Amino acid sequence: MHSADQNFAEKDVESLNWDELLNMKRSLSSYLKETSNNIIEIERSKIQPLSSKIHSTSDELKLLLKKSRELRSSIKSENSEFLAISLKISHSKDFLITMESRITDEPEEELTRSIKTLADNIEEKHYGTESEKNRIAQELKDKSMKMEAVKAVKTIKQGLDQLNQQADAFKENIRILNSENEDLDNRLNNCRVAVDLLYNERRKYSSERSTLLDTYNATLEKLELINLQMDKLAKVRRQHLHLSGQRINDSAILKVKEEAKRKLDSGSKMSFEELKILYSDGD
């Protein structure tokens, strides 16, 4: 409502004449229509689209949160597998150190030939005494143990190579998953900020709508008072066009009627015209 209309509306309704009430009614009716259109426009073009956007963004946030939980679970699983592989590598290295301490610098081919020669000597009895046989048998045993150690070392090293390859694969997977998780965290933060901004914007327009509704209701109440006053004046005007041969305005008629009621209540003497005004409308 314009400032002039607000000042006009703040006047006591009962003090206004018919023309002033009519002008005020037209102004208020126009303002009600304008306010109603503004309320509808805020709801249609602001609040409803924002509510729809909040819904879709919230759904997106839920999906991102679900994906984040799944991704973190995958990272936890990969880390657990990587830890298990790391422990196997550690144990294999310890075992490798132990086995390597049992072997000499003797080449494997030479060691193989020595074992065959010693075994053939025992089998073909190329020894002179029992003591020499025992010596050959012990040397064969030592050589065989060294050969077992050599084979074990080779097996351990092959296993370590495989374990290291698996560990590298897990590290790469974890790196990729951590990178995806970092990107996902950024998307989650952006989505949360977007939802907060949308809620704040909707609250702003909801507050604006609420203010307009309060103003609308207050204006409507004022308009109802004006209609009641105009109905009251219209009734008086139909019954009393003149008083004592002189035309008077609507406010004067009401004032005379109120004075007549006061006299009646106090028992004071009343004129015929006052009695006529007092009882003509049935009060």
The pLDDT tens digits for 102-155 are 777 778 888 888 888 888 888 888 778 889 889 989 988 988 888 888 888 889
pLDDT at 49: 96
**44 pLDDT above the threshold of 90:** yes
pLDDT higher at 48 or 15: 48
pLDDT in tens, 89-113: 999 999 888 888 877 777 888 888 8
User: What is the distance between the alpha carbons of residues 128 and 125, in angstroms, rounded to a whole number?
Assistant: 8
Provide the residue ranges of all domains of the chain, joining segments of one domain with +: 3-239, 240-283
Burial pattern 19-52, b for ≥16 Cβ within 10 A else e, equals eebeebbebbeebbeebeeebeebeeebbeebee
Pinpoint the alpha helices (H) of the chain: 3-9, 18-42, 48-100, 108-123, 130-239, 250-266, 272-279
Residue 59 pLDDT > 70: yes
Q: What is the CA radius of gyration of the chain?
A: 53
Query: At 243, is the secondary structure helix, strand, or coil?
Result: strand
Task: Give the model confidence (pLDDT) of 203-261 as tens digits.
Answer: 999 999 999 999 999 999 999 999 998 888 888 766 665 444 444 555 666 666 676 66
Contact at 8 Å (CB) between 274 and 263?
yes
Whole-number pLDDT of residue 236: 76
Fold of 3-239: Helix Hairpins (1.10.287)
Question: Which is more confident, 261 or 7?
Answer: 261
